[in-house]
Structure 1
Amino acid sequence: MLDTSAAVRLRRPDERMALRITESALAAEGVMDLAAFHHWFAHRRSVDVARVDRVDLDDLDRWGRDPDTGDLVHDSGRFFAVRGLSVEIPGAAVPSWAQPIIDQPEIGILGIVVKEFDGVLHCLMQAKNEPGNFNGVQLSPTVQATRSNYTKVHRGNAVPYLEYFQDTSRHRVVADVLQSEQGAWFYRKRNRNIVVEVTEDIELRDGFCWLTLGQLHRLLDGDDIVNMDSRTVLSCLPFSGADLAAAFPLPGESFGAAVIRSCSDEQGALHTTDEILSWITEAKARALVRTRIVPLDRVGQWRSTPAEIVHETGRFFRVIGISVRAEHREVAGWTQPVVEPVGVGINAFLVKRIGGVLHALVNARIQPGYLDVVELAPTVQATPGNYTVLPDAARPRFLGEVLAAAPDRIRFDSLLSEEGGRFHQARNRYLVIETDEDYEPEDAADFRWLTLHQLVGLLRHSHYVNVEARSLIACAHSLVGAVRTG
């Protein structure tokens, strides 16, 4: 498949890495074939079982309500807290509100080790059961740990493979960037997304496996297999470079060809990167957002009971308590509060081909928990049921188009879970929907068409692309092997 005459032009180290990433993305099989993986994964789900029971917030062990504020805090002062947040956005459809929010100032590590086998990059992935996961075990990064976890505040076992990310001096750092988490539920939360390539032999521990990017991409097509933390790290891979489309010639009219052209820097884009950066900067400068932490027991329109914290309409989300027993974790049992969303959300990219190059329609979106006010989001990022209790003006632009999309326009469609350590049964339907080439929406000042290589370029920096869009970028990259036409 590789056109070597084009490949020789990929001489810079970053261009060579882009080539190797693309080779791995097109590798449907690796050291373990997918049939063997599914057998292994089914076994992991059968042995790595966690018992998760709902308990009252007032019955959580080592957690309590601060007598002065009502905030939910751990007696160590570590891990995280649930506090109140007051938000003001003058001129918005909902100009002010208050809500509970997770305050977790620690920066955790989300890291994937990569290594070549038979000339193809493989990712070291972990089958891990998080208490909030739908269906229990999902594929996690090599390391997925908060600072409190890996510094053993919980007095638990050591985190496997942590040393590869704490000391990278002997290895090649492929990607390393701080990225935000959900801006609706976290207050200024960031994690270190890091990929490290090793050449030395690595002991394969129980619960871990090696997979190519192509195999991971195929698994993304299945519901609730590849977890959110894996998706965000995968999106940060430098999956862009000059001449990728020439090096990997796919059928000219196939959707996969449009995707790989979108990953090729020389293919161009509707807007220059300088224009996009100026548009984002202007959106951040224009946004007037005031947020402040307030006592949780003074958050209006939310009812706090011994059992839960819930909005008076029953919409949005609730804060509940859970008790966990899990034999395959650093700690065998604990209790904690979690955020439980109400309803399944929709995160969707509308995409179209411009000159044969795939572009995604992204939204410069304000969310109260962002450190830098605005980040690029999917075309649609919404839980439809929430808008029954909000003003009509708050209904997301393009939600109607996404909900009415014809099946033959849907290029990707999967139910995927969000982070299972802080959220309980949080799932979103991730969609990539292709529109006509002449589709040009009106009243879309907060939207722009970007190529995948432009999005990958932005992901080399913090606070440009939100976590929902990062998941969708990983999903869009999975379509590089798609051969359907249309």
Structure 2
Amino acid sequence: MAQAATRTARDRTVHRHGPRLAHSAQAGDRAGGIPGWLDERRRAGTFEVRCIPFGEMVKWRIDPDTGNLVHDSGRFFSVEGLTVRADSGTTWSQPIINQPETGVLGILVKEIDGVLRFLMQAKMEPGNIGLFQLGPTVQATRSNYTGVHRGRPTPYIEYFVGERRGEVLTDVLQSEQGDSFLRKRNRNMVVEITEDIEVRDDYRWLTLGEIHQLLAVDNLVNMDARTVLSSLPFPPGDEDAAPHSDTEILSWLTGIKTRHEREVVTSPLARIEDWRRTPAEIARSDGRHLRVLAVSVQAGNREVTSWTQPLLAAQRQGIAAFIVRRTAGEPQVLVQGLTQPGTFDVAEMAPTVQCVTDGWHDLPEKPPYLDYVLAVPDDRVHYSALLSEEGGRFYRRDNRYLVVEADETLGGDPPDAYRWLGLSQLKRFTGYSNHVDVEARTLIACLQSLWGKEPLWARG
């Protein structure tokens, strides 16, 4: 009943604000100036990131008992060990980021000259490719916006957690990468204001159409902006386009959760098997998966202008792809129910393909649909871009994000771990916590950038 009430409220929000968002998605011609503006903001201050030995970190230390990387305050996050015992009998160990506190990822919107505009930030993060990327209005951990670092206040935070809050369009706890974070979630918010506010140098009002154009550019719109954008209450599509009801999808996902028994236990980082530690990195002996390193950061525009911290670096570039098919009204999307060691609730809906392309042979069996996605002809590729993951925790980690169209060889029912959903139906599930993973939410934002365009939105 609670979920039904939530859906009714969300439907009202969609019907009220959907047309305004659609209008904003078709407006704006200033996207071409944003890459230059990001370069300008980078030149406006002193910004430097360099890799350092762990022993040179300040306010961070290696715990003498566990080998975990921890902050002196006990806040922010730690890098610990994780031991996983899957129901298949497979056991492995890995580093994991443990960040129990919930941050805020929020975008302010305001109607200006009859068009909804989004206050976006030139956000510097030490792990970003290019250092500066387009981020949400607020992108802050609880430790940051409550001042644990004793730095400058977080701009505009009062509109999301203070008394100046406007009308809330979306507000939901969402997960982050389940392969690297232990049950991490952030609060994703979109808040509309009517008052005039000062726009600081590192911020710009953009239409949704301009943001959509920028999503086609490699490593420009950051992960935190993408996850918030995925929850926007876009105009509803054809409800009859969904081949399964919401209840059927929830039952399918719940079945996956109950069938997969996995024991996940944190363990001392110093004692995880098959990993080696040097003064400057922690990595697997065979060079696979990821490594942990430390960086020193100079950033003149941040709340704190210099700091050190650990980051996780991927050894290979990943791939995340939706296979879609046309229907009258809107596309259908093929999702998988994916389990990952750090997922908050065992499994979430994920892209059709979510893996490391040249590392599939390390898995017990080849991921379904990988060959199709890698070999699909250009005329069936509707979206393709390299997009960075969270630059505050990952060092230059990006994935190839793809939206590709199914052909006649993919007819018939998919494997049991997969289901076709209507795009509007999938978007509804972003209104609930722990249903759609962060890679899938990025692809939803990318699909939104194609909204209304032929041939995916066929006119039936």
* Alignment TM class, shorter chain as reference: over 0.9
1:27 maps onto 2:27 in alignment: yes
- Three-state SS of the structure 1 residue aligned to 2:383 is strand
* Matching residue within 72, 76, 89 for 1:79: 76
1:99 maps onto 2:99 in alignment: no
Q: How much has 1:64 moved relative to structure 2?
A: 1.2
For 2:127, the equivalent position in structure 1 comes to: 132
* Matching residue within 316, 340, 357 for 2:313: 340
* Matching residue within 439, 444, 450 for 1:479: 450
Aligned counterparts, 1:199-348, within 5 A: 199-241=194-236, 264-348=237-321
Distance across 2 between alignment mates of 1:424 and 1:126: 20
For 2:7, the equivalent position in structure 1 comes to: none
Distance across 1 between alignment mates of 2:409 and 2:372: 15
Q: Deviations over 1:271-300 (max 9, x none)?
A: 111111111111112221110111111100
Aligned-residue sequence identity (percent) comes to 51
The amino acid across from 1:50 in the alignment is F
Contact 1:168 1:196 (8 Å CA) reproduced = no
Distance across 2 between alignment mates of 1:441 and 1:313: 40
Deviates more, 1:416-425 or 1:35-44: 35-44
- Three-state SS of the structure 2 residue aligned to 1:480 is coil
Distance across 2 between alignment mates of 1:46 and 1:481: 38
Structure 1 residue ranges without an equivalent (≥5):
1-10, 242-263
Q: How much has 1:41 moved relative to structure 2?
A: 3.0
- Three-state SS of the structure 2 residue aligned to 1:394 is coil
For 2:169, the equivalent position in structure 1 comes to: 174
Deviates more, 1:43-52 or 1:422-431: 43-52
For 1:467, the equivalent position in structure 2 comes to: 438
Going from structure 1 to structure 2, the CA distance change for 1:12 and 1:317 (only over 3 Å counts) comes to closer
Deviates more, 1:441-450 or 1:397-406: 441-450
Contact 1:349 1:360 (8 Å CA) reproduced = yes
Contact 2:120 2:136 (8 Å CA) reproduced = yes
Contact 2:49 2:296 (8 Å CA) reproduced = yes
Deviates more, 1:115-124 or 1:99-108: 115-124
Aligned counterparts, 1:110-129, within 5 A: 110-129=105-124
Going from structure 1 to structure 2, the CA distance change for 1:360 and 1:144 (only over 3 Å counts) comes to same
Contact 1:90 1:96 (8 Å CA) reproduced = no
Contact 2:83 2:264 (8 Å CA) reproduced = yes
1:42 maps onto 2:39 in alignment: yes
Contact 1:88 1:291 (8 Å CA) reproduced = yes
For 2:370, the equivalent position in structure 1 comes to: 399
Going from structure 1 to structure 2, the CA distance change for 1:421 and 1:441 (only over 3 Å counts) comes to farther
Q: Deviations over 1:18-70 (max 9, x none)?
A: 111111112243xxx23443443331233255211111122211211111111
Deviates more, 1:370-379 or 1:19-28: 19-28
TM-score, normalised by the number of residues in structure 2: 0.93
The amino acid across from 1:386 in the alignment is G
TM-score, normalised by the number of residues in structure 1: 0.88
For 1:70, the equivalent position in structure 2 comes to: 67
Going from structure 1 to structure 2, the CA distance change for 1:291 and 1:123 (only over 3 Å counts) comes to same
Q: Deviations over 1:105-127 (max 9, x none)?
A: 01000000001112211110000
- Three-state SS of the structure 1 residue aligned to 2:298 is strand
Aligned counterparts, 1:140-219, within 5 A: 140-167=135-162, 170-219=165-214
Going from structure 1 to structure 2, the CA distance change for 1:327 and 1:213 (only over 3 Å counts) comes to same
Q: Deviations over 1:285-325 (max 9, x none)?
A: 22211101111111001112221100111011100011111
Going from structure 1 to structure 2, the CA distance change for 1:385 and 1:198 (only over 3 Å counts) comes to same
Deviates more, 1:345-354 or 1:37-46: 37-46
- Three-state SS of the structure 1 residue aligned to 2:449 is helix
Structure 2 residue ranges without an equivalent (≥5):
1-10
For 1:252, the equivalent position in structure 2 comes to: none
Contact 1:49 1:129 (8 Å CA) reproduced = no
- Three-state SS of the structure 2 residue aligned to 1:221 is coil
Going from structure 1 to structure 2, the CA distance change for 1:269 and 1:206 (only over 3 Å counts) comes to same
* Matching residue within 322, 328, 339 for 1:366: 339
- Three-state SS of the structure 1 residue aligned to 2:451 is helix
The amino acid across from 1:475 in the alignment is C
For 2:8, the equivalent position in structure 1 comes to: none
Going from structure 1 to structure 2, the CA distance change for 1:48 and 1:438 (only over 3 Å counts) comes to farther
Going from structure 1 to structure 2, the CA distance change for 1:173 and 1:356 (only over 3 Å counts) comes to closer
The amino acid across from 1:221 in the alignment is A
Contact 1:50 1:131 (8 Å CA) reproduced = no
Going from structure 1 to structure 2, the CA distance change for 1:383 and 1:13 (only over 3 Å counts) comes to closer
Contact 1:350 1:360 (8 Å CA) reproduced = yes
The amino acid across from 2:249 in the alignment is I
Contact 1:112 1:142 (8 Å CA) reproduced = yes
Q: How much has 1:357 moved relative to structure 2?
A: 3.2
Deviates more, 1:37-46 or 1:15-24: 37-46
Q: How much has 1:481 moved relative to structure 2?
A: 4.8
